[in-house]
Homo-oligomer: A and B are copies of this chain.
């Protein structure tokens, strides 16, 4: 085996942390997974990852940097700042901790920004200078690439499309405001819509057969695949809101491509097809037919590791 230079890409999630060794071409040479919640401190997590890397016979100087995607991670400071989904509270000096452990350069950003980096270096946005990535999961994350650079802004926290208000006086958001995009266009928002429709609608629907406490978005997708009209209405409403948020993003940043990724994007064409329709109709005319919307081309298994590794590669350039 040739001695490729490698970046350690780490994706820290609330439950699991995935990591991998990734070369400059985006090939993953090793990957591992440990339980984030098993580690009381980020220092012990860093040390555990270091230990696990012994399984892979890294040669001297082969590891050239570290990239980390983590909730609420700030690229400018390298800190995780008050992440509600992590057991580590307050401000965590994440890049410092990993630099100390590995004695090598580290950079960190949030999951959506890391996803955008991954798409730019290894995915559907290769060679594109202006694009954005939307991650649909529990919430809605976004990473904007403008002029081939990730948009971090003054605070390092730019790209909060999920907290653009698209419905004034709309649904309450945990951020303390009302009508944020992610209260409509995310797995969580989608399920609120489904429940609202179940309460208000008199339409027969197979979703009534599932106890509400057990109802998940996958059930709704399955029902929609069988043309269940309530399930289709839920996708339609979600698409309408998502499209409105995307049109706002385009009016400001004028990308050529929007990549939809994240767990909830697995709904596939059920979500994408109506989103494209409402998006094109709702765009400011000057931007019509200038933006492509597509799924991520990265296999979801490795996407987060590739994103984190891409950040690491960018950081040492």
Contact = CB atoms under 8 A, between A and B. Distances in A.
Contact of A153 (B130, B153, B164): B130
B244 A160 contact: no
B167 A285 contact: no
Interface string A277-292: 0000010111100110
Given A160-B284, A168-B167, A286-B160, A255 B153 contact: yes
A162 B192 CA distance: 31
Interface of A: 81, 129-130, 142, 144, 146-147, 149, 151-161, 163-168, 175-177, 244, 247-249, 251-256, 282, 284-287, 290-291
Nearest to A150: B147
28 contacts: A130-B158, A142-B252, A144-B252, A144-B253, A146-B146, A146-B149, A147-B149, A151-B252, A153-B253, A153-B255, A154-B255, A155-B286, A155-B287, A156-B254, A158-B254, A159-B254, A160-B251, A160-B252, A163-B251, A165-B244, A165-B247, A167-B168, A168-B168, A177-B282, A248-B248, A248-B252, A249-B252, A252-B252
B147 A130 contact: no
Given A158-B252, A252-B161, A175 B284 contact: yes
B157 A286 contact: yes
Nearest to A160: B251
Contacts of A244: 165, 168
B130 A164 contact: no
Given A146-B153, A159-B254, 18 more contacts: A130-B158, A142-B252, A151-B252, A155-B287, A158-B254, A160-B254, A160-B284, A161-B251, A164-B251, A164-B252, A165-B244, A165-B248, A165-B282, A167-B168, A176-B285, A177-B284, A248-B252, A252-B253
Contacts of A168: 166-168, 244
Contact of A252 (B159, B284, B285): B159
